[in-house]
Amino acid sequence: MKVLVTGASGFVGRHVVTQLLERGHRVTALARDAGKAQGLVWFDRVEFLSGDVHADRLPDRLGQLDAVIHLAWPGLPNYRDLFHFEQNLIGDYRFLKSLVEQGVGQLLVAGTCFEYGLQNGCLSEDWPTLPANPYALAKDSLRKFLQQLQRHHSFTLQWARLFYLYGEGQHANSLLAQLERAIADGRPTFDMSGGEQLRDYLPIEVAARRLVQLVERPDADGVYNVCSGTPISIRTLVERHIRKRGADIALNLGYHAYPDYEPMAFWGDRRKLTQLLGTLD
């Protein structure tokens, strides 16, 4: 397949490009920062485009692609700012609509588990969406916009709701990245919340592989959770990572308050993606 990946130099994008190339696909990689992309191992194996999907006029030939994996979304992890729906939502919709009008027949777009809002438990794709922050609202609205666009244009829309991902290239403010810095700095303690909240964590390499496997199924229109399907407490996750690293660092539990933009206990139901792709992991 000929696939465009937006946000190609980002945390998810860099791994998705790697997976696409390993599986024999031809990749056009789009990112705003050419210098950052040049430092990635796959740079010489792709057609690279430097540009902003919200601002730049992109080549009309993008319509000749088989599929687009749209991962670009600036401003994270600031979930509360209004720019998510004042700028990103409208800019993304215009960009993706232009691709469909050029002839792209398949869009795989990154959504978020935050679309489920403050609902607890095992979250299934058929649950209602109740976004509780501007980021989640913008993502949920983009999905609905694109579903309405399908009434006017024929294309496959694959909406991939990403849960918590970790691994190489993760944001510096993410939990495990902060823990790694504390270990590297030789700090005696690691400040965190009480750690009792349940979350769904997936290695980035596994998530990237699932996204590529999904885009390889152009018949599979719909919403899909990209998750482990197994809840784990934040405290357990941190303690496991410390043991894996062989580090000597104590947990300062309760230092940070629990976030108010996410429920205490939620994880993804992955059965729909398992039924589509077969055995996962």
Measured in degrees and rounded to the nearest 5, phi and psi for residue 73 equal -165, 95
pTM: 0.94
What does the pLDDT read at residue 61? Answer: 73
Residue 202 bridge partners (DSSP): 165
Tokens of 55: 């601002």
CA quadruple 163, 164, 167, 173: dihedral, nearest 10 = 130
What residues have CB less than 8 Å from 63, skipping those under 6 apart? 99, 101, 102, 103, 104
User: What's the pLDDT at 260?
Assistant: 86
Architecture of the domain whose range is 2-165+201-230+267-277: 3-Layer(aba) Sandwich (3.40)
Nearest to 68 by CA among 28, 37, 111: 28
Q: Give the span between the Cα atoms of 50 and 113, in whole angstroms.
A: 29
Please report, in tens digits, the pLDDT of each residue of the chain (281 residues total): 999 999 999 999 999 999 999 999 999 999 999 999 999 999 999 999 998 999 867 777 777 899 999 999 999 989 999 999 999 999 999 999 999 999 999 999 999 999 999 999 999 999 999 999 999 999 999 999 999 999 999 999 999 999 999 999 998 889 999 999 999 999 999 999 999 999 999 999 999 999 999 999 999 999 999 999 999 999 999 999 999 999 999 999 999 999 888 899 999 999 999 999 986 66
pLDDT in tens, 214-242: 999 999 999 999 999 999 999 999 999 99
Domain ranges for the chain? 2-165+201-230+267-277, 171-198+231-252
pLDDT at position 146, please? 98
**Is 194 in contact with 43 (CB distance < 8 Å)?**
no
Closest residue by Cα to residue 190 from 235, 143, 155: 235
97 alpha carbon, distance to own chain's centre: 20
pLDDT at 281: 60
Q: What is the pLDDT of residue 56?
A: 67
Instruction: From residue 245, give the alpha-carbon distance in Å to each of 33, 162, 227, 240.
Output: 32, 26, 24, 9
